[in-house]
Amino acid sequence: MNLADLYKKQISLSEWFDDIEHTDTEIFRQEDNWKRKRMGELSEIISFPFDKPTSFEVIDIVNSSIDFDTFLDKRGHEVCALRLIPKQEGLPKLRMRGMSINDVVSQWLPEQGIDPVRYQADFVPHPSDHIWSTIFVVNEHGVIGEMVAGGHNELTQGFHSTVKPVRFCYNFENKTLETYPVNDSAERHVEEIIYFLLVKDKEKQKKIKNKFSSYFVNDYLCGYFETVKSTDHGTWFIDWNRVLGRLHKDFWLPIKTMARDGGLTGIVGSPGQSTGIARIIHPDNISSALFNEGDILICLMTSPDYIPLMKRAGAVVTEEGGILSHAAIVSREMKLPCIVGAKSVLKELKNGDMVEVDAYKGIVRKIKN
């Protein structure tokens, strides 16, 4: 199965949480559904550029209200991302990207079969390019994340087909910014985006704390963030998630890959250690695969289809992925040792090998039988 096919199997992080029966699933779903409303309110207090949507009730789209018809006449030719946000619990959030507004309204929307009274539609501009995309956390330790000179889904889904990601961290203790591999352009961009989160005005901090139940460390607004930079729109924040921020309040991992020490190396996705039998599981063989409690799951990249195996696994090792990809986040929430980005693991390990996974150092070693 190629990367394009794996992309089709990926779902939102809310749906991942639902599949692993996470206790905060509904809280997270609401946080995700209304993120642009929250970012809009934040932008009224501090300088915070974000992908501001044009919003309509879906019933107004269906009934061709005057306001919507005016919008359609003016901007119908534009390529967009559309989010259909449910206004009541229990309904799915639907999304689409890369079609014109005209085509979305005439083709895609009717195909969804939703009750238009129960949804809000957010039309978001679709950048023609991506200079940088980032995903990062600000917490007690500092700022840590990944970035790529490409599309943002490469970071969230963990597939890096062409350009490889750059990991970065800004340590509050020693006030140093590092990138790995070292990249001066990436460092400048990180400096740009975290400056937006630096709020030295204590009155503004107080207002943000009270309004959003958020917190600051070293005058930086904490949480989980995603950004994109494009030629069309400059730098935009596309997510600020307080729930994920709290889940990552102690998150801090080495951004550098360890030197090879008699084993395969990758990136620590979720810390821990485990020893077990390697099971290389192709995505087409998940349901029929031999997989026992404590086995080590080896694959190109996890998708939601792998969750039944992940629940029995002693550890997970993937050839693709990043430290804040959906799969890595889910592994941490499952307390499952995980190493991502272990290049050549599918070639160098065989089914049935006994392996030791050190997901503190990012090393996988084959043990002689």
Mean pLDDT computed over every residue of the chain? 93
Cα maximum dimension of the chain? 73
CA gap 361, 256 in Å, rounded: 10
CA gap 269, 317 in Å, rounded: 9
Q: Pull the structure tokens for residue 53.
A: 């949507």
- Side chain identity, residue 116: P
Tens digits of residue pLDDT in 102-143:
999 999 999 999 999 999 999 999 898 999 999 999 999 999
Architecture of domain 264-367: 3-Layer(bba) Sandwich (3.50)
Predicted TM-score (pTM) of the model is 0.91
Question: Angle at which helices 25-33 and 35-43 pack, to 10 degrees?
Answer: 50
Instruction: Return the half-sphere exposure (C-beta side, CA atoms, 13 A cut-off) of residue 231.
Output: 3
Q: What per-residue confidence (pLDDT) applies to 261?
A: 63
Number of neighbouring beta carbons within 10 Å of residue 98: 11
CA dihedral 199, 201, 203, 204 (to 10 degrees): -30
- pLDDT at 262 exceeding the cut of 70: no
Tens digits of residue pLDDT in 7-41:
445 567 888 888 898 999 999 999 999 999 999 99
CA gap 167, 162 in Å, rounded: 16
Q: What is the mean pLDDT of residues 207-229?
A: 98
Q: What per-residue confidence (pLDDT) applies to 6?
A: 47
Domain extents in the chain: 34-42+52-125, 132-247, 264-367
Q: Pull the structure tokens for residue 106.
A: 């005439």
DSSP annotation string for 222-245: PEEEEEEEETTTEEEEEEEEHHHH
Q: Lowest-confidence range among 30-34, 96-100, 257-261? A: 257-261
- pLDDT at 279 exceeding the cut of 70: yes
Tens digits of residue pLDDT in 37-59:
999 999 999 999 999 999 999 99
